[in-house]
């Protein structure tokens, strides 16, 4: 591996940070009364207010106009094709610079790598169908959601109850999805359903993916799911009542939808790990700065060994996580198997950022318990990351199974 960072990645990162600081930060300042309170961010139904949605769309489209929004997407879809190593570098830099709790930055300036923009899942869609929505998705004008999880089928995907039945040139889908990011706001949905009961029961396929407009008859989002200290959410519940989808809008082969879904989920896991790395670095920077100015017993708290140990432990965590993430991204760029490595970095990075945020709050003392410095928001965000896109326990299960199957090289 070559650990030198190519100059083009650095230039891209510099330009991205300038865009955030000059344009996005200006919008945040202009609309701070709207963005600064959960009570104005969300309506009574828990959805983003129309004004917030308009701002997020404005930032998405401006990011796309400048070439950032689709830069990490596959070249075959018309994206920049920068690759996995560039993606983790850029995600780390963005999050280390911006920190948590910025509603016009996270998943807006750069989209979720498999939910929005030119998602890798779209490679499995009929080119003629993709052509009808490609421009709108690439420009940030329209967004998507990814419907895999259900109330009884999160970690156990084969437990899903949503069914799709063939009816001539269409499929009829019935069921529900839960914990679906961007569902309340999406223009398009990627929905996965059981199409062969026997194969699904045997865990040998039987799941198929479909692409549809969210204004399709029978598709609805009856509610949102606020999590950890929020009054509203990006996360929603999807109801599917006799939704008819043309076979041309199928994602990949019949009964092979799980591999299609994992094509996106694995990209999301690596991106999440890089975001956690960046936010951990942001938290350590806050702790380092505060420890050198806050005084107790006549000296900066940075002089106290207990604080020094916490800072050192943060650095140890961050260095280990960064090394793993970069190696995993290199494996992907080299087209080498990386199933267990993706699970390793997802579990380790999401747990690491929680430890770092916790120590940063402890170093800040009472100030860390307020949200004036956004550490409290970062702590809540970090805690949620151990669950989406496969819990820490599911990642460990995948790692162990790969080891027992003979994949024990590192």
Q: Tell me how many domains the chain contains.
A: 3
Q: 59 in a domain, yes or no?
A: yes
Give domain status of residue 339, yes or no: yes
Give the Cα separation of 68 and 179 in Å (integer): 27
Q: What average pLDDT score do residues 187-201 get?
A: 96
> Higher confidence at residue 319 or residue 371?
319
Query: Are both 11 and 43 inside the same structural domain?
Result: yes
Q: What is the pLDDT of residues 93-135, one digit of tens each?
A: 999 999 999 999 999 999 988 889 999 999 999 999 999 999 9
Residue with token string 């207990």: 306
Total-model pTM? 0.94
Based on the fold, state whether residues 239 and 212 are members of the same structural domain. yes
The domain that holds 340 is classified in CATH as 1.20.140.10
- Of the candidates 109, 138, 167, which is a domain's last residue? 138
- Judged against a pLDDT cut of 90, whether residue 358 lies above it is answered with yes
Do 298 and 357 belong together in one domain? Answer: yes
Q: What is the mean pLDDT of residues 345-368?
A: 97
383 and 274 in a common domain = yes
Instruction: For the chain, report the end-to-end CA distance as a whole number of angstroms.
Output: 13
Looking up residue 81, the CATH number of its domain turns out to be: 1.10.540
Q: Are residues 334 and 292 in the same domain?
A: yes
Helix axes 339-364 and 305-333, enclosed angle (nearest 10): 160
- Other C-beta atoms closer than 10 Å to the C-beta of 183 total 28
Give 35-60 pLDDT, tens digit per residue: 999 999 999 999 999 999 999 999 99
Q: Identify the pLDDT of residue 304.
A: 97
Asked which of 207, 228, 255 is the last residue of a domain, the reply is 255
Separation between Cα atoms, residue 107 and residue 233, nearest integer Å:
13
270-290 pLDDT, tens digit each: 999 999 999 999 999 999 999
Domain shared by 270 and 387, yes or no: yes
Residues in CB range of 145: below 8 A, 6 or more apart: 115, 180, 181, 182, 183, 186, 188, 189, 190, 214, 236, 238
Query: Looking at the structure, do residues 90 and 118 belong to the same domain, yes or no?
Result: yes
What pLDDT is recorded for position 18?
98
**Does 199 share its domain with 217?**
yes
Tell me how far apart the alpha carbons of residues 23 and 15 are, in angstroms, rounded to a whole number. Answer: 12
Is the pLDDT score of 154 beyond 80?
no
pLDDT recorded at residue 246: 98
- For residue 409, tell me if it sits in a domain: no
Residues 89, 158: one domain?
Answer: no
Q: Are 91 and 275 in contact (CB under 8 A)?
A: yes
Question: Quick one: pLDDT band at residue 144, thresholds 50, 70, 90?
Answer: very high
Regarding whether 172 and 36 lie in a shared domain, the answer is no
Residues 6 or more apart whose Cβ sits within 8 Å of residue 159: 150, 152, 153
Residues 6+ apart with CB under 8 A from 75: 81
Q: What is the mean pLDDT of the chain?
A: 95
Helix axes 84-98, 257-293, angle to 10 degrees: 40
Better pLDDT: 90 or 112 = 90
Residue 165 lies inside a defined structural domain of this protein: yes
Residues 231 and 42: beta-carbon distance below 8 Å: yes
328 pLDDT band, cuts 50/70/90, is: very high
Q: Which two tokens stand for residue 131?
A: 């052509």
- Residues 79 and 73: beta-carbon distance below 8 Å: yes
Q: Are residues 330 and 394 in the same domain?
A: yes
| Band (155; pLDDT cuts 50, 70, 90) | confident
Do 270 and 329 have their domain in common?
Answer: yes
pLDDT-derived band at 231, boundaries 50, 70, 90: very high
Q: What is the pLDDT of residues 235-274, one digit of tens each?
A: 999 999 999 999 999 999 999 999 999 888 888 999 999 9
Q: How far apart are CA 13 and CA 16, in angstroms?
A: 5
Q: What domain range includes position 200?
A: 144-255
Q: What is the pLDDT of residue 3?
A: 87
């Amino acid at each position: 591996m070559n650990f030198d960072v190519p100059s083009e990645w650095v230039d891209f990162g510099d330009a991205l940070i300038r865009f955030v600081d000059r344009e996005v930060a200006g919008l945040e300042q202009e609309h701070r009364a709207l963005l600064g309170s959960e009570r104005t961010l969300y309506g009574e139904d828990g959805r983003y207010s129309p004004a917030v949605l308009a701002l997020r769309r404005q930032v998405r489209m401006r990011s796309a106009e400048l070439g950032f929004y689709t830069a990490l997407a596959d070249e075959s879809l018309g994206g920049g094709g920068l690759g996995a190593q560039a993606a983790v570098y850029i995600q780390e830099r963005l999050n280390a610079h911006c920190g948590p709790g910025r509603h016009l930055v996270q998943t807006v300036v750069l989209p979720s790598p498999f939910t929005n923009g030119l998602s890798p899942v779209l490679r499995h869609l009929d080119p003629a169908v993709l052509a009808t929505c490609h421009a709108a998705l690439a420009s940030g004008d329209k967004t998507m959601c990814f419907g895999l999880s259900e109330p009884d089928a999160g970690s156990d995907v084969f437990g899903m109850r949503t069914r799709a039945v063939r009816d001539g040139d269409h499929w009829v889908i019935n069921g529900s999805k839960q914990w679906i990011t961007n569902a309340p706001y999406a223009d398009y949905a990627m929905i996965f359903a059981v199409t062969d009961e026997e194969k699904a029961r045997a865990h040998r396929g039987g799941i198929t993916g479909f692409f549809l407009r969210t204004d399709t008859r029978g598709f609805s989002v009856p509610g949102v799911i606020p999590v950890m200290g929020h009054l509203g959410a990006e996360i929603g519940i999807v109801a599917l009542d006799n939704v008819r989808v043309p076979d041309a809008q199928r994602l990949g082969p019949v009964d092979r939808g799980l591999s299609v879904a994992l094509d996106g989920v694995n990209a999301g896991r690596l991106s999440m790990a890089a975001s956690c790395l960046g936010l951990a670095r942001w938290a350590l920077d806050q702790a380092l700065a505060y420890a050198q100015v806050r005084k107790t017993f006549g000296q900066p708290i940075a002089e106290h060994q207990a604080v020094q140990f916490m800072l050192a432990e943060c650095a140890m965590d961050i260095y280990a996580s960064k090394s793993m993430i970069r190696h995993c991204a290199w494996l992907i760029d080299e087209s080498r198997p990386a199933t267990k490595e993706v699970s390793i970095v997802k579990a380790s990075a999401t747990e690491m950022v929680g430890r770092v945020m916790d120590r940063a709050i402890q170093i800040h003392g009472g100030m860390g318990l307020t949200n004036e410095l956004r550490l409290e928001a970062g702590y809540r965000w970090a805690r949620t990351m151990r669950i989406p896109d496969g819990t820490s326990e599911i990642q460990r299960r995948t790692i162990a199974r790969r080891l027992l199957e003979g994949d024990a090289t590192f």
